[in-house]
């Protein structure tokens, strides 16, 4: 591989001139340099550049699991934004494990100019540790207490409230909630939404109606079975995320529960196949791609220094999409 020196020699100039030419500055010998570069098929070394400048033209993205369609969409939104800005993205899956998240952040930090992370828990040590460094960070989907980073969230409470309102309007009074881990932002916020909204409607507070899952499919399945076994079964259930919704749906099917007549169900997050289900699934939808590009935009503003305020929370809207999985409860 030719280096800058080779180009300089071939063009009969100094490396400084080549460097300037590369940087887009005016150089008298531009033509000679251009053809030398052409002839030698020269491309500058990203690494040498990074070492010298301290810049990497890369950002790191840490999500729990790229296999979750929500995070896939989020990452896609980030990636597109990154390419536009001339940055590469280095991806890491934390797998809902704080240890793994920490390890990822440690290695990524050395080769990126900024980080977008969806932290596992709100008391996230690895994020807190980051605060000591000067690397720009934006938190997405989930935030961390007592950090000063910007975060991009969605209106979790509003979404769940809309879902509860919808069910109450239909005449439900026994509404259950399959929650995510209360240690995570979306877990906690959606749970709060449920508690507040049901209270606002003066629904009986029935502790068995709230089951804490772990955002994975199996826990949605298990939770739904548990609800179904209750003496005083709920007539409707709201599920706090996409994967658990899939689990709940599978349980419903295996249990042979008629939806929505025996049980109405609303899932958090749109699913590519929501319309294909019988009945089509009512969901609380949000723009995963938007959430990604929004957080990337914030990060680049900070990297480029055009943004100095911090600790700001951007809350993106969600939308209740009513389809067929919710209806009036059948009288017992």
Positions that interact with a second copy (CB under 8 A): 43, 45-48, 50-51, 56, 58, 65-67, 69, 72-73, 75-76, 79-80, 88-93, 106-108, 110-111, 246, 249-250, 253, 271-273, 275-278
**Which of 29/280 has CB closer to a second copy?**
280
What residues are paired with 59 via a beta bridge? 89, 114
Q: Which does 14 bind (CB under 5 to 8 A by kind): DNA, a second copy, none?
A: DNA
Site string for DNA, 232-271 (x = CB under 7 A): ----------------------------------------
**Which of 13/237 has CB closer to DNA?**
13
| Residue of 52, 83, 205, 253 that binds DNA (CB under 7 A) | 52
Neighbours of 83 (CB within 10 A): 12
Confirm or reject binding of residue 121 to DNA (CB under 7 A): no
Distance CA 312, CA 317 (A): 16
Entry field: residues in the chain: 332
**Which of 44/98 has CB closer to DNA?**
44
Confirm or reject binding of residue 229 to DNA (CB under 7 A): no
**Which of 122/217 has CB closer to a second copy?**
217
Site string for DNA, 295-324 (x = CB under 7 A): ------------------------------
Task: Please state the closest distance from residue 13 (CB atom) to DNA, in A.
Answer: 4
Confirm or reject binding of residue 1 to DNA (CB under 7 A): yes
Part in contact with DNA (CB under 7 A); list of ranges 27-35, 130-138, 165-173, 314-322: 27-35
SS3 content of the chain, % helix, strand, coil (to 5): 45, 15, 40
* C-alpha distances in Å from residue 95, one per residue of 14, 67, 121, 216, 256: 50, 10, 12, 11, 32
* In the block, residue with structure tokens 């494990």: 97
* C-alpha distances in Å from residue 186, one per residue of 99, 120, 158, 240, 241: 20, 10, 12, 8, 9
Q: What angle do the packed helices 4-11 and 15-22 form, to 10 degrees?
A: 110
**Which of 30/170 has CB closer to DNA?**
30
Q: What single string gives the DSSP state of each residue in 204-268?
A: ---GGGEEE--SSHHHHHHHHHHHHT-TT--SEEEESSHHHHHHHHHHHHHTT--TTTT-EEEEE
**Which of 22/91 has CB closer to DNA?**
22
Confirm or reject binding of residue 112 to DNA (CB under 7 A): no
User: Which stretches of the chain bind DNA, using CB under 7 A?
Assistant: 1, 3-5, 12-20, 22-23, 26-29, 42, 44-45, 48-49, 51-53
């Amino acid at each position: 591989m030719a280096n800058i020196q080779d180009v300089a020699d071939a063009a009969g100039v100094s490396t400084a001139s080549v460097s300037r030419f590369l940087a887009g500055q005016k150089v008298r010998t531009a033509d000679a340099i251009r053809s030398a570069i052409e002839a030698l098929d020269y491309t500058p070394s990203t690494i040498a550049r990074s070492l010298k400048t301290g810049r990497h033209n890369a950002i790191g993205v840490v999500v729990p699991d790229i296999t979750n369609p929500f995070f896939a969409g989020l990452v896609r939104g980030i990636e597109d934004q990154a390419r536009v800005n001339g940055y590469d993205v280095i991806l890491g899956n934390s797998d809902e494990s704080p240890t793994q998240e920490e390890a990822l952040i440690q290695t990524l930090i050395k080769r990126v100019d900024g980080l977008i992370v969806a932290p596992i828990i709100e008391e996230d040590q690895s994020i807190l540790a980051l605060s000591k460094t000067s690397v720009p960070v934006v938190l997405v989907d989930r935030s961390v207490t007592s950090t000063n980073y910007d975060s991009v969230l969605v209106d979790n409470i509003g979404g769940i409230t809309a879902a509860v309102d919808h069910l109450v309007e239909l005449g439900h009074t026994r509404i259950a909630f399959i929650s995510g881990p209360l240690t995570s932002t979306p877990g906690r916020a959606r749970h709060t939404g449920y508690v507040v909204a049901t209270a606002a409607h003066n629904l009986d507070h029935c502790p068995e109606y709230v089951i804490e899952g772990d955002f994975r499919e199996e826990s949605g399945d298990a939770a739904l079975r548990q609800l179904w076994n209750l003496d005083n079964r709920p007539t409707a259930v709201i599920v706090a995320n996409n994967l658990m919704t899939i689990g709940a749906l599978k349980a419903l099917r295996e249990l042979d529960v008629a939806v929505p007549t025996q049980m109405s169900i609303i899932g958090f997050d749109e699913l590519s196949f929501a319309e294909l289900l019988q009945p089509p699934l009512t969901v609380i939808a949000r723009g995963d791609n938007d959430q990604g590009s929004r957080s990337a935009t914030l990060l680049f503003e900070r990297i480029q220094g055009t943004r100095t305020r911090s600790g700001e929370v951007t809350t993106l809207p969600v939308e209740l999409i009513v389809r067929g999985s919710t209806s009036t409860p059948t009288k017992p």
